[in-house]
Amino acid sequence: MNDVDIRAQLVKWGKRLVDNGLVVAAGGNISARVGDTMFISPSGYSIADATEEDYVPVEISTGKILDEFPLKPSSEVLMHLRCYRVRSDIRAIVHVHPPILVGIISAGGMIQPFTPDSVALLGKPAILDYILPTTDVLARAVEEKVKEADVILLRNHGVVTVGTNLREACYKAEVAEDTAKSFLASRIIGTLKLFTESELEAINGLSSEQYRLEIMRKMQEA
Ligand SMILES: [Zn+2]
């Protein structure tokens, strides 16, 4: 995918995240990698408003903003850079503030995938206690967690999801919030039954789930 295509994809998925209620106002940020360049949403903008030209090109190895760009990158630029540097398979990163998910984890709760689809997509989410946003302390903490997890829950803040493309990273954010909603519903009714280790293994071994993951990763955007 070239620079022009990736900018169009960033606009499309950025709008979708806002449309789906995963972030409001100027919160959240998204990026995608092409070679040693990441294109990241600009600081101060709603990701629903950022146009293709507004996505800021940043060299991943140096953190340098390319092309004397007129806009500042998202204030979480360090977090994105550290994730790309530590895992070469990551090609897209989403950071949003899903309201139900944030409410649950900030009250001391935790989201465990408890349906087959959420197990297949979210794996085992990691969680971090509150760390001041936009700092290198937060970026380093996320870097440590992303070595093991594709979904990192941030208490009193939001969630970071990563993927091999924007679709995958966005699906993970959507399913994380969806799981939080179902979790909340389950707490109203009774006690949630989590999967046993053998049930988890069976889900992860399902060829149908593997096939869906492959399709999601291969799917070329129009
Ligand atoms: Zn945030």
Mean pLDDT throughout 23-40? 95
Which residues are catalytically annotated? 76
CA of 74 to the centre of ligand 1 (A): 10
Residue with the larger pLDDT of the pair 4 and 39: 39
The secondary structure of 126-153 as a DSSP string is EEE----TTSHHHHHHHHHHHTT-SEEE
CA of 207 to the centre of ligand 1 (A): 35
Return the H-helix or E-strand segment holding 35: none
- Whether 200 shows a pLDDT value over 50: the answer reads yes
Which tokens in the block code for residue 193?
A: 């039954």
CA of 115 to the centre of ligand 1 (A): 27
Would you place residue 180 in the very low, low, confident or very high pLDDT band (cuts 50, 70, 90)?
very high
For the whole model, what pTM was predicted? Answer: 0.93
Would you place residue 206 in the very low, low, confident or very high pLDDT band (cuts 50, 70, 90)?
confident
pLDDT of residue 222: 37
Alpha-helical runs (H) found in the chain = 3-19, 77-86, 99-106, 116-122, 136-146, 166-189, 197-204, 207-218
Would you place residue 220 in the very low, low, confident or very high pLDDT band (cuts 50, 70, 90)?
low
Q: How many CA atoms lie within 13 A of 107 on its CB side?
A: 10
Q: What is the CATH number of the domain that holds 104?
A: 3.40.225.10
- Whether 211 shows a pLDDT value over 90: the answer reads no
Closest CA to 30 of 220, 22, 153, 217: 22
100-145 residue pLDDT tens:
999 999 999 999 899 998 999 999 999 999 999 999 999 999 999 9
- Ion ligand 1 — residues with CB under 5 Å? 158
Q: What are phi and psi of 208, to 5 degrees?
A: -65, -40
pLDDT of residue 210: 80
Domain that holds residue 139: 3-218
- Whether 221 shows a pLDDT value over 60: the answer reads no
CA of 21 to the centre of ligand 1 (A): 14
Mean pLDDT throughout 49-77? 94
CA of 27 to the centre of ligand 1 (A): 6
% residues pLDDT > 90 (the chain): 83
Count: domains in the chain: 1
